[in-house]
Amino acid sequence: MLHPLVRVSRLLRRFYGTKLSDHQAALMARGLPKREPISGVQDIIVVASGKGGVGKSTVAANFACSLARLGKRVGLLDADIFGPSIPLLMNVHSEPLVNDRNNLMIPPQNYNVKCLSMGMLTPPDGSIIWRGPLVMSAVQRLLKGAEWGPLDVLVVDTPPGTGDVHLSLSQHAPITGVILVSTPHTAAVQVTVRGAKMYEKLGVPIFGLVENMRYSICENCSQRMEFFKDSTCARSQEALPRKLISLPLDPHIAECCETGVPVVIKHPDSDYSKLFTQLAGDITDILDKQPKVADKDKATGGGNSEG
């Protein structure tokens, strides 16, 4: 039996003709969504960026693998419906199997991380042309239509910007916290600030910022070469949440992305990998010290967001 999301992915043309107003009316009739825990998932961490091209998906993949290397049970959900990257970065391309007993997808696993992406359900050269409600529906299917558990952490790689996917996740899932990714470039910082404000308005905690591609290390002399002026970096630190780590532009990243082997797996002893180990350890400490969002939502009857 085909999973509903698999059937949807094979009928793009039919759904493309669906009127947006009809979907909006149906959503309004059902009222505001309710945050419900994902079966078997303890914590949900969203990795987000305001701008594309800042390395968000690379950070999400290496962060997930670093958590797994610390002994955590980890899942990685690719919520970027239009531009999925996780199948390539994690080398998981096969269509997920479906459990006939409950009609839930079984996420394939690599590097001890369970992965699920729309890229596994569509042809490599295919394109998805969907309006907002269909995108939100697909995200919900990926989130709640799979056998994720038991997981300690589900890492969610989101598309750049602030849109339907981010709103849908925040309204439907008890997100434990958000990791923002940005370069120190002024344009990237400005849109990342807007993203941070969106999550604050939705009541979603922000763990901090991963500052990416700030510098490079010479392989010959080990000299650190800064790409941005100190004044630019200072402005970014003032405008954004606390910095978790600063990542260099590592020459191994391109190779690892192309081969589907995250840097923390292929070069576990590199300085780049050690920074991710630090990040995974710091986030684990935060998770251990705070009450679970899922438990709080159960106690309060759900944390609905208005809008």
What are the pLDDT digits (tens) for 181-217? 998 888 888 888 888 888 888 889 999 999 998 777 7
What are the pLDDT digits (tens) for 235-290? 556 667 788 999 988 878 888 888 999 999 999 999 899 999 999 999 999 999 87
What are the pLDDT digits (tens) for 139-184? 888 999 999 989 999 999 999 887 788 888 888 889 999 999 998 8
Q: What local confidence, expressed as pLDDT, does residue 129 receive?
A: 67
Amino acid identity, position 197: K
Q: What local confidence, expressed as pLDDT, does residue 153 receive?
A: 98
Q: What local confidence, expressed as pLDDT, does residue 130 receive?
A: 67
Give the predicted TM-score (pTM) of the model. Answer: 0.81
Closest CA to 201 of 102, 126, 269, 303: 303
Count of domains forming the chain: 1
Q: What local confidence, expressed as pLDDT, does residue 229 receive?
A: 65
- For residue 2, being part of any structural domain is answered with no
- For residue 252, being part of any structural domain is answered with yes
- For residue 6, being part of any structural domain is answered with no
Task: Report residue 306's pLDDT band, with 50, 70 and 90 as the boundaries.
Answer: very low
Q: What local confidence, expressed as pLDDT, does residue 163 receive?
A: 79
- For residue 39, being part of any structural domain is answered with no
- For residue 280, being part of any structural domain is answered with yes
- For residue 307, being part of any structural domain is answered with no
Q: What local confidence, expressed as pLDDT, does residue 99 receive?
A: 92
Structure tokens that stand for 192 in this block: 């990342």
What are the pLDDT digits (tens) for 286-301? 999 877 554 544 444 4
- For residue 16, being part of any structural domain is answered with no
Q: Give the domain range for residue 61.
A: 44-291
CATH of residue 50's domain is 3.40.50.300
